[in-house]
Amino acid sequence: MYTKPKIIAIAAVSGGGKTTITSRLNQELNNSRAIYFDDYDVEGPEDIIDWVDRGADCNEWSLKPIITDVNNLINSTDVRYILLDYPFSRLHRNLKTIDLTVFIDTPLDIAMARRLLRDFRNTNTEVLMDELSNYLSRGRIGYESMLKTTKPNSDLVVDGSLHIDKIIKIIIDAVNN
């Protein structure tokens, strides 16, 4: 008998743990498949800060390839959970079929440190300083925007400073209830 898979979206600011949590959940949940937003070449605003200044309407992003893959997985008989590493929670009008939205609420200093370690490990100091200056002058408002939009529209908010095992347990408990 066919049962529609449960769709679980994991959101966080950049460096907040979306990919790590989604990957780990994919290992822990039987018959799950993960979709990672960053694996797709989706069309969206060219200037993210301008987009945030205009209200950060996630419907300006074309999610067609992601939606196609989600729909294909929904119709698959061997998938019980679809995990979305995805920044918009239920806010995009074309992807409302999500059953559980989780926001990993990672303190911004931790998220920034993780992002710098991930993306700038082999970069010279000047490039790193430019990135930090950009974050302070413009980029931080993008992070703050998610805290004002995505976080309050999530079903479950988990402290991103917790150990990954604790975060996974909290999410799996929510999935099972």
Tokens standing for residue 132: 């930090």
User: In whole angstroms, how far apart are CA 38 and each of 19, 65, 76, 166?
Assistant: 9, 12, 23, 25
Contact 22, 10 (CB under 8 A): yes
According to the model, what pLDDT value does residue 9 have? 97
- Secondary structure (DSSP) of the chain: ---PPEEEEEE-STTSSHHHHHHHHHHHSTTEEEEEGGGS--B--S-HHHHHHTT--GGGSB-HHHHHHHHHHHT-TT-SEEEEE-TTTT-STT----SEEEEEE--HHHHHHHHHHHHSTT--HHHHHHHHHHIIIIIHHHHHHHHHHTGGG-SEEEETTS-HHHHHHHHHHHHH-
According to the model, what pLDDT value does residue 1 have? 66
**Interaxial angle between packed helices 164-176 and 18-28, expressed in degrees from 0 to 180 and rounded to the nearest 10:** 60
- Which of 117, 104, 84 is closest to 164 using CA atoms? 104
According to the model, what pLDDT value does residue 98 have? 95
Q: Which residues of the chain have pLDDT under 50?
A: none
Contact 96, 90 (CB under 8 A): yes
CB count within 10 Å of CB 105 equals 21
